[in-house]
Structure 1
Amino acid sequence: MLNLLNHLKTFPQGGVHPDDNKLSAKSHIQEISLPKIVYIPISQHIGKPAEPLVERGDTVKAGQIIAVHEGFVSANIHASVSGKVGKVEEIMDSSGFKKMAIAIRVKGDDWEEGIDRTPGLVKEIELNKKEILAKIMEMGVVGQGGAAFPSHVKLSVPEGKSADHLIVNGVECEPYLTADHRLMLEKPEEILVGTQILMKSLGVENAIIGIENNKKDAIKLLKKKSKDYRGIKIASLKVQYPQGGEKQLIKALLNREVPPGGLPIDVGCVVHNVGTTFSVYQAVQKNKPVIERVVTVTGKGLEKPSNFWVRVGTPVSHLIDAAGGLPENTGKVVSGGPMMGKALADISVPIAKATSGILIIPEYEAKRAKEYNCIRCGKCVEACPMGLEPFHMMLLAKKGFYEKAKEDNIMDCIECGSCSFECPSNRPIVDYMRLGKIMVKKLNN
């Protein structure tokens, strides 16, 4: 067994091994009750916010478009519930900043006509390449692995570039999170059909679904099911964080190196998360927009670590209540996982298209340890999967030397947190990396 594990594919540089803590891995995806009111942000994607189409007092149905994409790099927003539109105003979202959102007071559960809500699998792909792209754009599909990049943009290969491989990211390397794992177990064929749709859209004949070896049941199931789907391979990967990073995944699966500042398409690849792939299936085969997703709600002190089908705009507090309520010793509530997630200032913030999990961290783990001086041990350098010098980048960002940080490729940082995880001096390296990247972006504008 040890010999087999040593030969599992992985990326060669850096990475760390935090405890999995997949507490909700055996929890089947459950339907959660509808809240009394949802708050749907008009910007749940990279790019320009969508333009609202509704006003206070309007009656809407679930699946109805309520904000239209503003330009090519943007995404449509749909009502996740039926009811009456309340205020269209700024609210705090998971970033901690105020963003424009559409409030809908829930009444019943009426859906737009033409959305297929039946559970039956639809395997035959009737739309052509151009129609698939248009449908994905119409249904507001964005990356659900965290970045929320509009999927139609990623599938629009720039002139002069070409793709020969689709990679479907089923790694879910963040500790605690199990939403993708459960989706692969409970909707395997929908994911496989979604993969075929993406292949058709890109005009490629080869697809690989990469899954870390701590999800053996998902690997086994998808290998069995994929025999009926031409061109799709399932790859087992060594458990190593951050295996789910696009560049790390491409290197592990195809031994191709995305150049500094480059994108997967530069090496002939397009990468989509399994949640996104499922949404593509629903959009194209079921005419269903992205109005709900699987969200993991978990934590060591939580009564019922769970995976829920959640309507977009549902307050985080509603999910926590469904999982048994907030433990008394709670120190922090995080949107996402412990490595790359963001602490929430308010648990009334809404679930968005890219919200993969809500993590409840007990007080004894939430407190930052005392920070000491850097001892130049090099552990952060060894851990960095991008080959950077995090201790050096932190110093540059701290001192305000942003031009030098740019020259030293700070923008290649994927903010995985491996450097901070390994630092024996408890230095908030990744925080300064983020600051440095923000300031470099400002320099470029």
Structure 2
Amino acid sequence: MKQDLRRLTRAAGTRLHHFHGGLRLRHHKQQSCRLPVARPPLPSRLTVPLQQHAGETVAACVQPGQRVLKGDLIGDGECQRGVNVHAPTSGHVEAVSQHLLGHPSGLAGPCVVIRPDGADQWRARQPLDDWQSLAGSELVQAICQAGIVGLGGAVFPTHRKMHHGQAARIHTLILNGAECEPFISCDEMLMREQPRKILAGARVLQHAIGAERTVIAIEDQMGAVREALEAAIAEPGAAAIDLVCVPAIYPEGGERQLIQVLTGQEVPSGGYPSDIGLLCQNVATAAAVADAILEDRPLLERYVTVTGSGVREPRNVLALVGTPIADLIEFCGGYAPDAARLVIGGPMMGYSLDSDAHPVVKATNCVLVLCHDEIASPQPEMPCIRCGECARVCPAQLLPQQLHWQIRNGLWEDAGASGLRDCIECGCCDFVCPSHIPLAQWFRHGKGELRARRRQQLAADHARERYLTREARLARQQAERAERMAQKKRALRDDAARQRKVAAAIGRAARKRSADSEPEPGP
């Protein structure tokens, strides 16, 4: 562990490492950073999905007509299976019904529809002022109750990630502020405006997992962010935290890539950062943890970048979960006349939506509106020419052309063995492919197929285990039944033998009595 700490200490000073591949992209962040973060007006309806995390859909715990206060639990994730969902403001529950979700699948999901009453009345809150005296497990439970997920894009339940960290021996907490995808600037504005909250969340996280140090990583082009964080770190009473500027090479904000840049180590395939003593959290997640522990505020809102040449006034907003995207666009001046495409996320990893009626969820980091001249005309997909450009830029060091061939031919075991699960879907291979093959789309399909096959295999294994258990139970019951019958037969045989012995004894006694009672013969 000491060797790992020394390696990280050098990285925190001047020495950084490199990951394989990557791209240097134009950032397009300035247009959304010119204005301060603002809060849009309270919408007339909030549609809050019950599936906002990587995991199972949670169960609604409210009924239509019920009044809820801000922060009330409306979806119970039970902390083991899902993530809690809370009311973003006070009001009345209009419905618990199916609504379209802002997801590339276009599927509907269960949602709680709330009609705000305008009072924005909080439930009773109990901040954990003595959090430093609490055990790590108690803090993790509080984070679980607050419904916090990873806000960097993966929306993995934070409490489950911390459970991994507590089970391992974590020496370093890494806060990821390297917001690498073009156009997205919500984390940058959060770090500019709320650096003390991020540091407070870092202290809570470090205490909860027992880490020895904390490192905050930002892009080297974030000058204003660096100044804000350095000033907050230099304040009296602030924790000793290292601030590291990493080169802006997409996708350096990926968890595995950032760890490699900072430490020179690679997270094992199929493993976790905790396997090498590290825990990585997004800076927005750290801020949400500070809200949860220090103010008893569950995750109800998040910073969202609304940007692109298709929106009149690009900026970052602090939006309540459940707010219609249309309300954010209207707050930012509305659509430009030549707006053509609505994208959730960035241009590399985002996905298009056909409607702005979808709600903001915990994963919504950016609403990007593109104009006609920014959208490339669809190009026909051509055969792979084996140029190797996709392998050159792949940050996971995969062979995309080989994976593509395996997926197209249904060679799922081969694709899994070739590292398909390690693909981070960054889109670098799409960007450089001269044959216009939608490789990332193929890989998403392939990973979904592997997950489905894994579920089928687990179901089959479970069914086989149940069958074998049943057969063993029936065999045991049959053997027990046969043993009972055998015991009964032996008992009957023993009883018959006893009866014969008794009868014989009775016979002998009768004969003796008969002999004794006969008169003796005369003289």
Q: Same fold (TM over 0.5)?
A: yes
Match of 2:471 in 1: none
Q: Is the 8 A contact 1:73 1:153 kept in 2?
A: no
306, 309, 318: which one aligns with 1:297: 306
344, 357, 367: which one aligns with 1:335: 344
273, 287, 308: which one aligns with 2:282: 273
Match of 2:409 in 1: 399
Q: Is the 8 A contact 2:309 2:336 kept in 1?
A: no
Q: Is the 8 A contact 1:11 1:243 kept in 2?
A: no
Question: SS at 1:210's partner residue?
Answer: strand
452, 477, 481: which one aligns with 1:442: 452
**Higher mean C-alpha displacement, 279-288 vs 103-112:** 103-112
In structure 2, what is the Cα distance between the partners aligned to 1:344 and 1:123?
Answer: 45
Report how far residue 99 of structure 1 moved: 1.0
Amino acid at match of 1:289: P
In structure 2, what is the Cα distance between the partners aligned to 1:304 and 1:409?
Answer: 43
- If the length of structure 2 is used for normalisation, what is the TM-score? 0.80
Q: Point out the structure with max Rg over C-alpha.
A: 2
Amino acid at match of 1:193: A
101, 104, 114: which one aligns with 1:93: 101
34, 41, 48: which one aligns with 2:49: 41
Q: Is the 8 A contact 1:10 1:240 kept in 2?
A: no
Counterpart check, 1:358 vs 2:360:
no
Amino acid at match of 1:191: I
Match of 1:132 in 2: 139
Report how far residue 78 of structure 1 moved: 0.2
In structure 2, what is the Cα distance between the partners aligned to 1:379 and 1:249?
Answer: 22
Counterpart check, 1:236 vs 2:245:
yes
Report how far residue 367 of structure 1 moved: 4.0
Question: SS at 1:282's partner residue?
Answer: helix
Q: Is the 8 A contact 2:391 2:429 kept in 1?
A: yes
Q: Which deviations, in whole Å up to 9, do the C-alpha atoms of 1:388-413 show, x marking residues without a partner?
A: 01122122222322222111110100
Question: SS at 1:190's partner residue?
Answer: helix
Counterpart check, 1:76 vs 2:84:
yes
Question: SS at 1:30's partner residue?
Answer: coil
Question: SS at 1:222's partner residue?
Answer: helix
Structure 2 gaps, min length 5? 1-13, 456-523
In structure 1, what is the Cα distance between the partners aligned to 2:73 and 2:328?
Answer: 25
In structure 1, what is the Cα distance between the partners aligned to 2:407 and 2:359?
Answer: 32
Q: Is the 8 A contact 1:116 1:288 kept in 2?
A: no
Amino acid at match of 1:51: A
Counterpart check, 1:60 vs 2:45:
no
In structure 2, what is the Cα distance between the partners aligned to 1:39 and 1:26?
Answer: 30
In structure 1, what is the Cα distance between the partners aligned to 2:15 and 2:247?
Answer: 5
In structure 2, what is the Cα distance between the partners aligned to 1:439 and 1:94?
Answer: 22
Report how far residue 235 of structure 1 moved: 0.2
**Would the alpha carbon gap of residues 283 and 361 (structure 1) be closer, same or farther in structure 2, given more than 3 Å must change?**
same
Q: Which deviations, in whole Å up to 9, do the C-alpha atoms of 1:345-375 show, x marking residues without a partner?
A: 3211110111111001112333444133322
Report how far residue 125 of structure 1 moved: 4.5
Q: Is the 8 A contact 1:68 1:77 kept in 2?
A: yes
**Would the alpha carbon gap of residues 159 and 188 (structure 1) be closer, same or farther in structure 2, given more than 3 Å must change?**
closer
420, 423, 427: which one aligns with 1:410: 420
Match of 2:475 in 1: none
414, 417, 435: which one aligns with 1:425: 435
In structure 2, what is the Cα distance between the partners aligned to 1:326 and 1:402?
Answer: 44
Q: Is the 8 A contact 1:312 1:351 kept in 2?
A: yes
Match of 1:4 in 2: none
Q: Which deviations, in whole Å up to 9, do the C-alpha atoms of 1:21-42 show, x marking residues without a partner?
A: 0021222110111111010011
Amino acid at match of 2:53: H
Report how far residue 123 of structure 1 moved: 11
Q: Is the 8 A contact 1:163 1:265 kept in 2?
A: yes
Aligned residues: 435
Question: SS at 1:24's partner residue?
Answer: helix
Report how far residue 11 of structure 1 moved: 3.0
29, 39, 61: which one aligns with 1:31: 39
**Higher mean C-alpha displacement, 173-182 vs 44-53:** 44-53
Match of 1:108 in 2: 118
Give the structure with the higher percent helix: 2
Q: Is the 8 A contact 2:60 2:76 kept in 1?
A: yes
Q: Is the 8 A contact 1:10 1:238 kept in 2?
A: no
In structure 2, what is the Cα distance between the partners aligned to 1:418 and 1:367?
Answer: 16
- If the length of structure 1 is used for normalisation, what is the TM-score? 0.94
**Would the alpha carbon gap of residues 340 and 285 (structure 1) be closer, same or farther in structure 2, given more than 3 Å must change?**
same
Report how far residue 192 of structure 1 moved: 0.4
Structure 1 gaps, min length 5? 1-6
**Identity of aligned pairs, percent?**
34
Q: Is the 8 A contact 2:341 2:371 kept in 1?
A: yes
Q: Is the 8 A contact 1:73 1:150 kept in 2?
A: no
In structure 1, what is the Cα distance between the partners aligned to 2:60 and 2:167?
Answer: 35
